[in-house]
Each structure stands twice: as structure tokens, then as C-alpha cells.
């Protein structure tokens, strides 16, 4: 006998007492447990309850859902992951035309994972890799497949060379667009270097036009359009 939790009725929690039968296989002779298709991957919850938990996590935090349903935080997290895997399987592999590539730090010590988003549909489509190297970036294109990779027309990224090299190797038909933030950061550094060199070149009263003007030069910048390159 196994007790599993099902959808609540009002403010009452519902539990089902399920008898799990054991049968002897005629083919191999081994004793096997009956498979109950209405149970989730976690056998202590029904599929519809696990689905409900996953749906609730789309509107509330894991902590709030755990308190609402009187569940442990880890249990809610596990059920949410199962829900997301099911949704991803239903959605299938996407076919993006424009992608955005970035990395996020998952813990201290420069431990990164790569995030790829579909810029037209405005949603993340891939999270993976072991770091932010070219080898990790290539895993995305392997997952997407050769046919759908050929459909990419635009790759938006920062100026990190491994991302650019991977895109040029697997999606040479796509234009590469560097994001404005990194371009303007490089331009600001160049402008500051010019300011310093001019200050060092000048002497006497001529320096008064440059001294103390660093933040005047680098603030309130008029951003121009990002620079795109083909291939």
C-alpha cells in the first residue's frame, strides 16, 4: 500500500491509498512491481498534482508555493523541474531566426553557463555548457541541429571571441551583431586614453582645459547604432 497526494479539494488536502501489486513475469521469471501511469516521476504525487505545482511556480516563488501547499522547498523544486522538462518536450526543438547569446554566473569562482534566447519570440531556448568556451558554445548548435542552424540569420552577442568563433564555424550565413554596451565601453576606454595622452602632452595653463573633465567626457553619451559584421 502506498499513499500519494492528489489535488486538494478546497482547503482539504487529498491523499490516495494505492495498492501496488507485484507480479511475476512469465518471460524472465522476475517479480516486478505494477506500473501506475497516473503517478508523477516522484511516486508520492499524482501527475495532475505535479502539473498543478509546476503551473503555480509560473506565478509564484518556490518558497511561496511550498508554504501554500505545505511541501518542502526541495520537493517543489523537483516537481517544477519535471513540469519544465515536460513542457520543453512538448515544444520540441525551436527554429530561431535571430538569437541572443550571453553567459550567467551560477556560483562564485567564475563558473558560467551559456544562455541562448530567441530574440523574435523573446524567450530563452537553451541553457547549458560547462563554461563559456567555444566547445561549450558548440553544444548549442549540436543540440539545434544542422538544418535549423542554417536558418539563423542574426547572432547578437558581446565581444567574447569563443562565441563569435563558434557562430562563424556553425552558422556562417548569420550576421554577427555586437551589443551596444560593450562597444560603447571600448569607445569610452579609448576616449579616456586620448584624454590622458593629451594631458601628458600639454604643460602649464593648457592643462586646465582637460583637468577634471573625465566624467564630463564620459557621461551623457549619444549612443549610436550597434556595429554589425557579416560572418
Residue whose C-alpha cell reads 595653463 in the numeric block: 205
Strand positions, DSSP E, the chain: 2-9, 12-18, 22-24, 31-33, 98-107, 111-118, 123-128, 154-157, 175-178, 228-230
pLDDT tens per residue, the chain (231 residues)? 788 899 988 888 999 888 888 888 788 878 887 778 888 888 889 999 999 999 999 999 999 999 999 999 999 999 999 898 888 788 777 889 999 998 888 877 778 899 999 999 888 888 888 888 999 999 999 999 999 999 999 999 988 899 999 999 999 999 999 877 777 777 777 877 887 887 788 777 777 777 766 666 666 555 444 444 444
Q: What is the pTM of this model?
A: 0.56
- Is 62 in a helix, a strand, or coil? helix
Nearest to 170 by CA among 194, 152, 158: 152
Helices (H), ranges, 27-103: 47-56, 62-69, 73-91
At 7, phi and psi to the nearest 5? -60, 145
pLDDT of residue 225: 46
pLDDT of residue 231: 46
Handedness of CA 209, 215, 220, 221 (dihedral sign): positive
With beta carbons less than 8 A apart as the criterion, state whether 130 and 112 touch: no
With beta carbons less than 8 A apart as the criterion, state whether 40 and 26 touch: no
With beta carbons less than 8 A apart as the criterion, state whether 179 and 153 touch: no
Domains and CATH numbers, the chain: 2-91 (no CATH), 98-178 (3.30.420.10), 180-230 (no CATH)
Separation between Cα atoms, residue 72 and residue 161, nearest integer Å? 43
Separation between Cα atoms, residue 230 and residue 168, nearest integer Å? 9
pLDDT of residue 221: 54
Separation between Cα atoms, residue 149 and residue 169, nearest integer Å? 11
Amino acid at each position: 500500500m502506498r499513499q500519494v497526494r492528489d489535488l486538494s479539494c478546497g482547503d482539504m488536502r487529498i491523499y490516495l491509498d494505492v495498492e501496488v501489486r507485484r507480479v511475476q513475469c512469465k518471460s524472465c521469471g522476475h517479480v516486478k512491481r505494477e506500473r501506475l501511469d497516473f503517478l508523477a516521476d516522484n511516486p508520492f504525487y499524482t501527475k495532475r498534482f505535479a502539473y498543478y505545482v509546476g503551473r503555480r511556480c509560473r506565478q509564484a516563488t518556490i518558497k511561496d508555493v511550498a508554504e501554500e501547499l505545505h511541501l518542502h522547498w526541495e520537493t517543489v523544486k523537483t516537481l517544477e523541474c519535471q513540469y519544465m522538462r515536460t513542457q520543453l518536450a512538448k515544444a520540441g526543438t525551436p527554429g530561431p531566426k535571430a538569437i541572443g547569446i550571453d553567459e550567467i554566473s551560477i556560483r562564485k569562482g567564475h563558473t558560467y553557463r551559456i544562455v541562448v534566447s530567441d530574440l523574435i519570440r523573446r524567450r530563452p531556448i537553451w541553457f547549458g555548457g560547462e563554461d563559456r568556451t567555444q566547445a561549450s558554445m558548440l553544444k548549442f548548435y549540436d543540440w539545434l541541429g544542422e538544418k535549423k542552424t542554417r536558418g539563423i540569420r542574426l547572432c547578437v552577442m558581446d565581444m567574447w571571441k569563443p562565441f563569435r568563433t563558434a557562430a562563424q564555424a556553425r552558422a556562417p550565413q548569420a550576421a554577427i551583431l555586437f551589443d551596444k554596451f560593450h562597444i560603447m565601453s571600448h569607445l569610452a576606454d579609448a576616449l579616456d586614453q586620448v584624454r590622458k595622452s593629451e594631458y601628458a602632452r600639454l604643460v602649464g595653463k593648457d592643462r586646465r582645459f582637460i583637468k577634471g573633465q573625465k566624467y564630463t567626457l564620459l557621461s551623457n553619451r549619444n549612443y549610436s547604432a550597434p556595429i554589425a559584421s557579416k560572418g
